[in-house]
Structure 1
Amino acid sequence: MTYIDKIPQSEVVDLKQLIDLAAGEVTSRTLVQRPELTMTLFAVGTGEEIGGHEAAGDAMVNVLSGAAEITIADQTYLVAAGQTIVIPAGKRHSLYAKAGFQMLLTVVKPVAH
């Protein structure tokens, strides 16, 4: 069984090449969508924003290129290419493209029993 089937397996892949970064746009590409886990690539053009929202699980943002201002509750962090931040479950957050950025977002949610 294959669990990550949206990208090649047993092959070196540059995630930045799998999603285009374009001015004025926010785009996404889902890699894994399971009840307890999602993995999604995002590209956010300079000046664009993913507005305030909450997630049911812990959200790990791995910035692949550019730089994002990530606000968690009322604290803002600058996260640049090669850096990662974890947003705790249930915390309101938003992301702003200080410089157009690409990211891998991994959300780990509680397993429903």
Structure 2
Amino acid sequence: MSDFIKNLTAKKVLDLKKEIPINSHLVVSKTLVQQPHVGMTLFSLDKDESISAHKATGDALVYLLSGHARITLDGEDFNVSEGESLLMPAGAPHALYAETAFQMLLVVVK
């Protein structure tokens, strides 16, 4: 068992999309790391679900595992698709909207 990354099986090849299901009409999260200087969380959002505007205390990197999201960052919209990432600087207001159902890995470094 890993001492730092939780809720995943060590010493096994993983498909992160299988680790975070897309549930109808829901936003789902699965925390992998929550330490003072780093956080890693898997998220899934069904189509038309959203995460309202907020700010992170560290730099946040979103990596889309599947689907398509519209991320509003500092008032500017970014279209992010499977295999793409967006870096959101600490303190910048941002919100996410599921153009299609999507899954993502969020890494926050403080």
Q: TM-score normalised by the shorter chain: which range applies?
A: over 0.9
| Amino acid aligned to 1:71 | T
Distance in 2 separating the partners of 1:17 and 1:58? 26
Spell out structure 1 runs of 4+ moving beyond 6 A. none
Q: Distance in 2 between matches of 1:88 and 1:5?
A: 25
2:29 corresponds to: 28
The AA in structure 2 aligned to 1:97 is A
Find the counterpart in structure 1 of residue 91 from structure 2. 90
Q: Contact 1:43–1:101 at 8 Å: present in 2 too?
A: yes
Give yes or no for contact 1:67–1:100 (8 Å, CA) kept in 2: yes
Query: C-alpha deviations, 1:9-56, integer Å up to 9, x for none?
Result: 221000010111022100100000101100000000100000000000
Q: How many residues get paired?
A: 109
Kindly indicate whether the alpha-carbon contact (under 8 Å) linking 2:70 and 2:77 is maintained by their aligned counterparts in 1. Answer: yes
Q: Which runs of 5+ in 1 are unaligned?
A: none
2-structure distance, mates of 1:106, 1:51: 18
Matched letter for residue 8 of structure 2: I
Which residue matches 1:60?
Answer: 61
d(CA) in 1 for partners of 2:3, 2:77 = 38
SS of the residue aligned with 2:70? strand
- Structure 2 residue ranges without an equivalent (≥5): none
Paired amino acid for 1:89: A
2:81 & 2:24 partners in 1: Cα distance? 18
TM-score, length-scaled by structure 1: 0.93
CA distance in 2, matches of 1:87, 1:13: 26
- 1:57 counterpart letter in structure 2: G
Counterpart mapping for 1:1-113 below 5 A = 2-109=3-110
**Amino acid aligned to 1:54:** K
TM score, norm. by length of structure 2: 0.96
